[in-house]
Amino acid sequence: MLLNLCAIVLAAAAGISAGVISFPTYEIELYNGYDLKGSVHERHSGTFASPSPVTQESFCMTHQFMVNKHQSNNRLYSFKYTVHDLNSGLNMKLRLYRTPDCKDEYIAGEMSIDIALLAVILLSILLCLLFTRQSPRDPNQRLVNDLGWAQSSAVSDKEQSTAKNLPAFTTRQLTQSTFLITEWDDIWNEHPFIYAKIVPAAETILIVDTGCGGRTLNTDIGLTSLREYIETVGVADNGGRPLNEGRRMRYVVVQTHCHYDHILGAEAFAVDSPILASGHSPSFVSPSNLPSHSQCNALGIRTPSYRLTLAPHLHQIVAGDQNSPSSVPLGVELLHTPGHTPDELALWDAGEQMLYVGDTLYERDPIIFPNEGDIVLWFSTMDWLISFVKSQANAGEVRINCGHSTAMGSALEVLQAAKSFMQDVITGKVDLWDRYERRGWWAVEYRQEGGRFSLICPERLVLEARMALEV
């Protein structure tokens, strides 16, 4: 593993150190983009917890959170580590990153040390290369193993083996009418969940979020349009037919909130379909604010342009014109659930007993609040959602579907568990995992023991919540 290589190199260099006892220091810069070519995303600095030598254990403990958070999940980030160890005469700069095709990890570095240390480090690198060599990741194999594409009768063996033909999406059926579409290898490693509910009586498909627009570094992916995928690619769980075979059905699209990984595929639908959003905070999603609030500006990407239909709380979604009394209901209710963002919304499908909550919460990945988030308001939303689920006749059978990671969970249990974790964060029962500078503000990270829930947000939001809740 690349981290082990770095750690062993450092340990080897420090192992022959002698002289003045000192506490080695480190600096970390995390860049957006490959090979330190993007803007600086985060900066960390500090001192190792013990004097020299810098051991593999101390290096791993200091930097494991960086690898877990970014490198291990294939984000297009690069890391620049600088370690100063006066005892060994070591002044090392290490660059860690993935190749543009995400297939192989390697290391480049700059070192200022004496000749003896250089010989030890070179020998360590050679030994590490012998024992830690990794095989390049095969995107096709990942797709087959993790997402079951090989079982789809809609794609032939010849098609699967041809470069640039794989779709950026996979689909599995959740209920009789609803399918989960996953963008499986996007450039930001968001893997957003997109939901499609087919309503034959209304000749309409309700689309919940549109994902990352098919953006990927995977050269085997050729079909990147969500709409084209829905209309042309057969789905095994749908009898091998596309979800909208022959383009016979129209669409209604709902965006659970305006972050980039939920809206970048919207333009293809907006040409002839309504795009619904929460009317709770109209200015937040206005054309002038969307580039910043969607985070497109921060990522340096074009903000999609489309017209929004802002819906009120408890709006009953219908096919076509949302204001027409003759439009056919889709059986789904739109709920305002601000907190994660001012425009966050949820959907309630009474017929399927399913609650869609966007990025209000999910499991196994960090719940990330932007600067515009509000944890106090999030608690109010959670209380409302918990009461809403409890008010249903079969509350224990209600399922929850999130914007990432979590689908078909027990709604009541997941909601209550997520709220409990956040309460533990605010009351100080969960230790601070990390604190660092991010886009000009201080971010904090908390992780629940066992890893089910975690939180990344501006430190300010936690402090404001503690004051408001008198913790």
**What CATH number corresponds to the domain at position 170?**
3.60.15
Structure token pair of residue 417 = 């568990």
pLDDT for the residue numbered 101: 41
Same domain, 92 and 237: no
**What is the pLDDT at residue 122?**
56
Backbone region of residue 440 per phi and psi (left: phi > 0; alpha: psi in -120 to 50; beta: other values): left
pLDDT the model gives residue 82: 62
Asked if pLDDT for residue 58 goes beyond 70, the answer is: no
**Are 157 and 303 members of one domain?**
yes
Going by C-alpha positions, the residue among 267, 205, 263 that lies closest to residue 235 is 205
3-state class (DSSP) for residue 343: coil
Q: Mean pLDDT, to the nearest integer, of 190-211?
A: 97
Sign of CA dihedral 358, 406, 388, 383: negative
Query: How confident is the model at residue 471, as a pLDDT?
Result: 74
The answer on 144 and 63 residing in a single domain is no
Per-residue pLDDT, 175: 97
Looking at residue 59, what is its pLDDT? 45
Highest mean pLDDT among 6-10, 73-77, 325-329: 325-329
Say whether both 171 and 287 belong to one domain.
yes
Torsion of CA 373, 375, 345, 196, to 10 degrees: 90
What is the C-alpha to C-alpha distance for residues 359 and 370, in angstroms, rounded to an integer? Answer: 11
Span of 314-323, 337-346, 354-363 with lowest mean pLDDT: 314-323
Is pLDDT at 322 greater than 50 in this prediction? yes
Residues in Cβ contact with 158 at an 8 Å cutoff, skipping those fewer than 6 apart: none
Percent of the chain with pLDDT over 90: 61
What is the reported pLDDT for 151?
A: 29
Same domain, yes or no: 33 and 176: no
3-state secondary structure of 238: helix
- In this structure, the chain runs to a length of 471
Please tell me the predicted confidence (pLDDT) of residue 269: 98
Strand 90-98 relative to strand 77-85: parallel, antiparallel, unpaired?
Answer: antiparallel
What is the rounded average pLDDT of the residues 80-109?
46
The pLDDT of residue 67 = 46
Handedness of CA 451, 456, 460, 465 (dihedral sign): negative
User: Side chain identity at 131, as an amino acid letter?
Assistant: F
pTM over 0.85: no
The average pLDDT across 100-108 equals 37
Q: What is the mean pLDDT of residues 152-181?
A: 71
Q: Are residues 279 and 148 in the same domain?
A: yes
Residue 441 has pLDDT above 70, yes or no: yes
Specify whether 304 is located in the same domain as 192. Answer: yes
Residues 230, 171: Cα–Cα separation, whole Å: 10
* pLDDT > 70? residue 144: no
The DSSP code sequence of 151-195 is G-TTS-HHHHHSTT-EESEEEEE-SSSEEEEEETT-TT----EEE
Q: Do 77 and 214 share a domain, yes or no?
A: no
77 pLDDT band, cuts 50/70/90, is: low
| Residue 168 and residue 67 share a domain | no
Q: Residue 28 has what pLDDT?
A: 63
DSSP 137: P
The yes-or-no verdict on residue 115 having pLDDT over 60 is no
Are 192 and 296 within one domain?
yes
CB 40 within 8 A of CB 29: yes
Which residues constitute the domain of residue 283?
139-322
pLDDT number for residue 111: 39
Distance between alpha carbon 117 and the CA centroid of its chain, in Å?
41
Query: In 10 A of CB 3, how many CB atoms?
Result: 20
Residues 6+ apart with CB under 8 A from 395: 389, 412
- Compare 151 and 281 and report the one with higher pLDDT: 281
Asked whether the predicted pLDDT for residue 394 surpasses 60, the reply is yes
**Triad 202, 204, 208: Cα angle to 5°:** 130
pLDDT of residue 293: 97
State the average pLDDT for the chain.
78
- pLDDT the model gives residue 39: 55
pLDDT exceeds cutoff 60 at 390: yes
Terminal C-alpha separation, the chain:
42
Per 3-state DSSP, what percentage of the chain is helix, strand, and coil (rounded to 5)? 30, 30, 40
Residue from 463, 471, 466 nearest 442 by CA: 463
Q: How many domains, in total, are found in the chain?
A: 2
Which pair of structure tokens corresponds to residue 1? Answer: 């593993």
pLDDT in tens, 277-299: 999 999 999 999 999 999 999 99
Least confident stretch, 29-33, 53-57, 259-263, 316-320: 53-57
86 within 8 A of 48, measured Cβ to Cβ: no
379 — pLDDT class (breaks 50, 70, 90) = very high
Is 241 within 8 Å of 234 (Cβ atoms)?
yes
Quote the CA–CA distance of 310 and 279 in Å, as a whole number.
5
Q: What mean pLDDT is predicted for residues 416-422?
A: 98
In a domain, residue 380? The reply is: no
Residue where one domain finishes, among candidates 97, 132, 167 = 132
Q: Which residues have a Cβ under 8 Å from the Cβ of 217 and sit 6 or more positions away?
A: 76, 100, 101, 102, 187
Percent of the chain with pLDDT over 70: 65
Q: Which of 294, 322, 350 is the last residue of a domain?
A: 322
Q: Are residues 149 and 291 in the same domain?
A: yes
Of the two residues 403 and 42, the one the predictor is more confident about is 403
Asked whether residue 226 is domain-assigned, the answer is yes
Amino acid identity of residue 72, one-letter, is S
What tokens were used for 227? 């709409």
pLDDT, residue 27, reads 66
Average the pLDDT over each of 60-69, 279-288, 323-332 and give the range with the smallest value.
60-69
d(CA 298, CA 367): 19
Residue 306 has pLDDT above 70, yes or no: yes
**Contact partners, residue 25, CB within 8 Å, separation at least 6:** 45, 46, 47, 48, 83, 84
Q: What is the pLDDT, as a whole number, of residue 289?
A: 97
**Minimal CA–CA distance to 314: which of 274, 275, 280?**
280
